[in-house]
């Protein structure tokens, strides 16, 4: 059985959403981010990203990590692509061309969107997005994101999904990156097709089930 190390309030949402879509069994091993603990190295503290036991599995000390029949993967986007392909079905690529396109959209999101989008998420999580300074910061980030979001907008003006005219793992990977910027509505008002796509994939039962568990998670 696939083993997932992490918590819902982390990048583990990517693989956990996929598992909901697949309806596949898995074992979740809770591993908390060390920065959320006062002293992650204290005796008796819960398993976290600085725990020696976890570092023996993932030397980078990041979550999620997955383990599948001896294979350990520490990068969340590689995890979803691997699990989708090995599971088969409509979420996986049907041929080499779709495989390349899914990888391309995944890397596009990771390299062109995620770093800047995370700045919006951080400002929102820290309560700064409701301030004048926070709005100015988000506006500056949105100007940087305008170009990659323009690419998304052009694509989703012609297609309902990222690849193959159906919901796939590429949509999960891309949506979970784009979501980081979701708190800044003007960016999505300027890109309505992208906003519609994100709403469409987040309306899926798989996403809703994952998100409900994320909201209910006690750290």
Per residue in 35-71, pLDDT (tens digit) is 999 999 999 999 999 999 999 999 999 999 999 999 9
Residue 145 domain boundaries: 96-207
One domain for residues 187 and 108:
yes
Q: Are 50 and 44 in contact (CB under 8 A)?
A: no
Q: Above pLDDT 70, what percent of the chain?
A: 100
pLDDT (tens digit, 9 = 90+) per residue, 73-101?
999 999 999 999 999 999 999 999 999 99
Average pLDDT of the residues in 148-164: 98
User: 126: exposed, middle or buried (C-beta count within 10 Å: 0-12, 13-18, 19+)?
Assistant: exposed
Asked which of 89, 122, 143 is the last residue of a domain, the reply is: 89
- Whole-number pLDDT of residue 207: 98
Q: H-helix or E-strand containing 143?
A: helix 132-158
Half-sphere exposure of 105 (CA within 13 A, CB side): 27
One domain for residues 54 and 22:
yes
| 111's tokens | 């390299």
Q: Could you tell me if residue 217 is inside a domain?
A: no
One domain for residues 101 and 197:
yes
What angle do the packed helices 169-178 and 96-112 form, to 10 degrees?
10
User: 10: exposed, middle or buried (C-beta count within 10 Å: 0-12, 13-18, 19+)?
Assistant: buried
Confidence band, pLDDT 50/70/90 cuts, at residue 148: very high
Q: Are 217 and 210 in contact (CB under 8 A)?
A: no
- Whole-number pLDDT of residue 219: 78
Confidence band, pLDDT 50/70/90 cuts, at residue 32: very high
Give the single-character DSSP code of 218.
Answer: -
pLDDT (tens digit, 9 = 90+) per residue, 172-184?
999 999 999 999 9
- Whole-number pLDDT of residue 134: 95
- Whole-number pLDDT of residue 140: 98
One domain for residues 84 and 100:
no
One domain for residues 51 and 109:
no
Domain count, the chain: 2
Confidence band, pLDDT 50/70/90 cuts, at residue 170: very high
pLDDT (tens digit, 9 = 90+) per residue, 99-128?
999 999 999 999 999 999 999 999 999 999
pLDDT (tens digit, 9 = 90+) per residue, 192-211?
999 999 999 999 999 999 99
């Amino acid at each position: 059985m696939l083993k997932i190390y992490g918590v819902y309030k982390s990048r583990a949402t990517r693989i956990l959403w996929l598992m909901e879509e697949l309806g596949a069994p898995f074992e979740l091993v809770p591993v908390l981010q060390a920065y959320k603990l006062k002293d992650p190295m204290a005796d008796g503290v819960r398993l976290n990203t600085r725990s020696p036991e976890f570092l023996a599995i993932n030397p980078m000390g990041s979550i999620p990590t997955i383990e599948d029949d001896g294979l350990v993967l520490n990068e969340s986007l590689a995890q979803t692509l691997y699990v989708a392909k090995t599971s088969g079905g409509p979420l996986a690529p049907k041929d080499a061309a779709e495989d390349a396109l899914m990888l391309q959209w995944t890397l596009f999101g990771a390299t062109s969107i995620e770093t800047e989008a995370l700045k919006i998420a951080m400002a929102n999580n820290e309560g700064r997005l409701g301030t004048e300074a926070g709005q100015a910061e988000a506006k500056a980030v949105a100007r940087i994101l305008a170009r990659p979001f323009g690419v998304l907008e052009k694509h989703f003006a012609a297609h309902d999904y990222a690849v193959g005219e159906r919901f796939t793992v590429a949509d999960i990977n891309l949506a979970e990156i784009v979501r980081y910027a979701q708190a800044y509505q003007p960016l999505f008002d300027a890109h309505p097709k992208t906003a519609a796509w994100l709403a469409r994939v987040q309306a899926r039962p798989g996403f809703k089930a994952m998100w409900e568990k994320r909201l209910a998670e006690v750290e």
